Amino acid sequence: MERISPIPGSRRSAPARHLRMITHHTAIYVGSRGFAAAINLGSVAVFTRLAPPESYGTYLYILSWSLVLYGATCQWPKFAFFALYDEASEGAQVGTVLRILLCTLTLAAVGSALAVALHIVSPRIAAAIVALAFGTTLFEGATEIARTRLKAVAVAMSVILRGILMLGLGGAVLTVSGDAVHLSLAVAAAYALSSIPAAATVVPLMPGRGSRAEALRLIAYGWPLVLSFGIAALAQVVDRLIIVKTIGPEHLGAYGAIADFLKQSFVVFGEALALSLISIAKREARAGGMAAATAVLCDAARAMAVVAAFGAAFYLNFDGIVVSILLGPDYRDQARSLAPVLILASVLMMFRAYYFGQIIYFTDSSRLEAVASIATLATVTVLSLALIPHLGVAGAAIAFAAGQAAACLVFVLGANRRGSGLPAMPLPLADVAGIAAIALATGLVPTALSWLPGGEGAPIQILRFVVLTLGFLAAVWRYDVVGVAGVVRHRLGRVAG
C-alpha cells in the first residue's frame, strides 16, 4: 500500500480499506448533514418570514423547555448504549435500551402533567413540550443505535428526511395558523416520522428480550448523565429563558434565529464528524485501547479545526449576504451585530460537544460530563443575570460563549489532571495552528477585496468566495483531513501503476 507523507498523530500506516471506510462514512455523514443543514436554513428563512418575532420567540421558548425535558429524562440511554455497545450481545442491549427509553418517555409525560397540575405551565404549552421531547427521543434513539452499528446510509436518510419534513410541515402550519404551539407540534411530527429509516435497521433486533444485567450496566454508566444532561440542556437554553422573563419573547426571536443558524452550521458538521470518526475511534479503542484510537481522534480534531476556522472566515466575510437570505427584515440588524460573538460560541460548543466531550466514551465513568455541565450552567446563568438587563441580547451572547469555554476547560483540565486516571483527547496543536493560519491568511484577502471599488458587486463577491474555497482545499490537502488526500494519492498511484 502507498505511504503518505507523514504528519504527526495521523493514521498513515492504516490499511487502504480502513482509510476508505473512514472517508466513505465521513462523506455520507457530512454530505447528509450538509444537505439537511441547507434545508434547515431554508426552514429558518421561511419561519422568520411567516412568523413575527414574538411568535417565533414563543416557539423557541417551547423548544427550549422541550430540550431541558429531553435532556433530563430521555437523552442518557443513547449515550450509555454507544459507550457500552458490544456486538456480541447487541440483541439484548437493543432490547434493553428500548425498554429504558419507554420508561423515560413515561417519566417525561408524568413530569409535564405534574407541571400542569401545579399551574407552572398551561396544558397547551405542556402538550407541545412533551410532543417535541417524544419526537426527539424517537429520532435520536433510532439514529444512535443505527450509527453505533455503523449503518451510515440509514442515519443519513433519517437526517435528510427530518429537514424536509420540518420545512414542509412547519411552513404549512405557519401559513394556515401562525401559531407557535402548532409549529411545535409540526416539528415534533417531523422528528418522529424521520426516525423511520434508521429505526428500520433496528427492527431485526427488536424481538430481543431485555436483560437485567444489561440494564444495570447501562444505568450504572448513565446515571450521572441523568443529572449532567439535564443541567447541560438547561445551560444551553437558560440565556433564552432569562431573555423571555426579563426583556420579552420578541427579543428572543432575532437572537434565537441567528444563534440557532450559527450553532447548527457548526454543530451539524461537528456532529457528522463525531458520527463517523468518533464511532470508528471507539471501535478501535475497544480492540486495542486508547492508543489505537489516537490517530483517528487526531483526524477528528483536524477536521473540526478546518470547519471552525473556515466557517468563521466565511461568515465574517459574507454575514450581510447570509443574514439577508436567511432571516426576515425584522431580524436582520440585530443578527448582524450578534454574529461575531455567536460564531465564537458556536465553535466552542462544537469542540465541547463533539470532541472534548467525547472523552466519556473512552472511560468507565461519565462524571466529567456532569462537572462540565455544572460549570456551563453556572457560568451562563450568572453572566446572563448580570449582563442581559444592561446589554440585552448581546449580554446573552457573551454569557453563552463563556459557558462553552468553561466546559471545554473542564474537559481539558479534568482529563489531564494528575491521578485522574482519564485518557486525554489528543490535540495536534501544530496542525490546528497551521489550519488556523491558512484560514486567517485566506480570510483577510476577501476582506481586502471588499474594500476595492465595486467590492459589493457580483464579480468581486465570487472572487472572494473562490479565494476562501482555495484556502479550504489547501488546508484539507496539506493536513490530509479525513483521509481525502490519502485516498486521492492512493487511487492516482493505482492508476499510474
CB atoms near residue 42 (< 10 Å): 17
Over residues 319-338, mean pLDDT: 79
Given a cut of 80, is residue 313 above it in pLDDT?
A: yes
Q: What is the pLDDT of residues 435-463, one digit of tens each?
A: 999 999 988 887 787 777 766 777 888 88
How many Cβ atoms sit within 10 Å of the Cβ of residue 199? Answer: 19
pLDDT, tens digit, for every residue of 382-391? 999 999 999 9
279-288 helix and 16-50 helix, angle to the nearest 10 degrees: 150
Lowest mean pLDDT among 18-27, 234-243, 340-349, 472-481: 18-27
Q: 148: closest CA among 71, 202, 223, 73?
A: 202
Lowest model confidence (mean pLDDT) among 176-190, 247-261, 425-439: 247-261
pLDDT, tens digit, 9 for 90 and up, residues 56-82: 888 999 998 898 888 888 887 877 877
pLDDT of residue 33: 75
DSSP collapsed to 3 states, 282-334: HHHHHHHCHHHHHHHHHHHHHHHHHHHHHHHHHHHHHHHHHHHHHCCHHHHHH
Contact status, residue 146 vs residue 25, Cβ threshold 8 Å: no
**Neighbouring residues of 469: CB distance < 8 A, sequence distance ≥ 6:** none
pTM above 0.85, yes or no: no
| Integer Rg of the chain from CA | 22
Q: How confident is the model at residue 10 (pLDDT cuts 50, 70, 90)?
A: very low
Residue 375 clears pLDDT 80, i.e. is over it:
yes
Q: What is the pLDDT of residues 118-169, one digit of tens each?
A: 888 889 999 999 999 999 988 988 888 887 777 888 888 999 999 999 999 9
Position 481: which residue type? V
Q: What are phi and psi of 216, to 5 degrees?
A: -65, -40
C-alpha distances in Å from residue 167, one per residue of 66, 159, 179, 258? 19, 13, 15, 17
CA–CA distance, 60 with 183 (Å, rounded to integer):
10
Average pLDDT over all residues of the chain: 83
